[in-house]
Structures are given as C-alpha cells and as structure tokens.
Amino acid sequence: MLFHVRMDVKIPRDLPPDEVAAILAREKAYSQDLQRRGTWRHIWRIAGQYSNVSIFDVSGNDELHAILSGLPLFPFMNIEVQPLLRHPSAIRDDDS
C-alpha cells in the first residue's frame, strides 16, 4: 500500500548541538536503510522549509505507524498521511 507522507520538523532551539547531531545521524541511517529496502520509495525536500514529502510502500496503517514512530526525529515532527490508490489513467506498471 502506498502512502503520501508530509513531515514538518521543528527541533527545539535549546536542544544541545551534539544531541541534535546524534539524532540527525540516526535519522539519516534509519531513513536510508528503509530506502534501500524499498519501503521508503521517494523523498523530496520542500524548498525553503525543514519539511519533506515522501512515498512509503508498506503493508498497511500499522506498519506505516511503526516506521514513522521509529524515526529519531518523530518527537519533533508534525506528520500528515494520505493513502494513495493507483489512478486509472496511469501508464506505468511500477507505481502501484
């Protein structure tokens, strides 16, 4: 099942820089592992914001929730999720 996920990040300004660096390093490793496995299919940065739009390919709501809540930046995120369905006019077979 495909999901469109928007993540807006707000790291507190008073968080120590070394703690922020450690969180960001864990976040990068976690997200890149999911991308390599094909679970996190696409990720795009939104210009001018600390936000991204991503496409996840998971078995359902429970798996997506587990993945998102496992993000090291999860405590600092506002997340919006929209399930996606194949459009009847789509010409590619690999987008479902």
Assign 87 a pLDDT band (cuts: 50, 70, 90).
Answer: confident
Mean pLDDT score across all residues of the chain:
95
The rounded distance, in Å, linking the Cα atoms of 39 and 43 is: 11
pTM of the predicted model, to two decimals?
Answer: 0.91
DSSP string, 35-85: HHTTSEEEEEEPTTSSEEEEEEE-SSHHHHHHHHHTSTTGGGEEEEEEEE-
Is the pLDDT at 95 greater than 70, yes or no? no
Domains of the chain, with CATH numbers? 2-84 (3.30.70.1060)
**What digits encode the pLDDT tens for the residues 40-66?**
999 999 999 999 999 999 999 999 999
Radius of gyration from C-alpha coordinates of the chain: 15
